[in-house]
Amino acid sequence: MATVISSVNVYWRRLSVRTQELWSHIDLGESGALTDTPFAKAKLWLERSRGSQLYVTINTTGAAAKIIDAWGILPLLRSHETHFHSLDLNLNTVDEVHAALARWLTEGAPRSLRSLAITIPWPPKHGNTPHALPPGMLHREQREAFFEPLRTLDLDGTYISWTGPAFKNLVDLRLSRISDRVCPTVEEFVSILNGSPSLRTLWLRRMTLRIGTRLNFAPIKMKSLQILGLEHVEPQGICLLLPLLAPEPGLFVKLEGYTRDPGEVGEALTDLFARSKVDKLHFSTFVNPAQLPRMLVRLQHLRSFTWQGLNINDEFFETMAHNSTTADSQPNVDGTSEGNEVANTGSYLCPNLHILDLQGCSISAAALRELVTNRVIPKLTISGCHILVDGTGDDAPRLMEDLEKCLNDSVPDLLLKENSLIVQD
- Rounded to whole angstroms, the Cα distance separating 56 from 43 reads 16
Residue spans of alpha helices (H) in 75-175:
94-107, 144-147
User: Looking at residues 347-359, what average pLDDT do you find?
Assistant: 92
* Residue 72 identity: G
pLDDT for 142: 53
| Beta carbons of 132 and 105 less than 8 angstroms apart | no
What residue segments make up the domains of the chain, in order of their start? 1-149, 289-425
Does the pLDDT value for residue 2 go beyond 70?
A: no
| Angle subtended at Cα 152 by Cα 127 and Cα 105, rounded to the nearest 5 degrees | 65
DSSP per position, 30-98? HHHHTT-HHHHHSPEEEPP-TT-EEEEEEE-SGGGGGT--HHHHGGG--TTT-EEEEEEEE-SSHHHHH
The CATH architecture that domain 289-425 belongs to is Alpha-Beta Horseshoe (3.80)
Contacts with 35 (C-beta within 8 Å, 6 or more apart), sequence order: none
Q: Of 404 and 70, which is predicted with more confidence?
A: 404
pLDDT for 326: 46
Q: Which of 386, 364, 366, 383 is nearest to 374 (CA)?
A: 366
| Beta carbons of 110 and 82 less than 8 angstroms apart | no
**pTM of the full structure:** 0.84
Does the pLDDT value for residue 180 go beyond 80?
A: yes
- Rounded to whole angstroms, the Cα distance separating 411 from 374 reads 11
3-state secondary structure of 197: coil
- Distance of alpha carbon 99 from the chain centroid: 28
pLDDT for 27: 66
Digit-coded pLDDT (tens) for 122-169: 877 778 899 998 877 656 555 778 898 999 999 999 999 999 899 999
Q: Which of 188-192, 238-242, 256-260, 363-367 has the lowest mean pLDDT?
A: 256-260
User: Looking at residues 255-282, what average pLDDT do you find?
Assistant: 88
Digit-coded pLDDT (tens) for 12-28: 566 666 665 555 666 66
Q: Residue 211's CB: how many other CB atoms inside 10 A?
A: 12
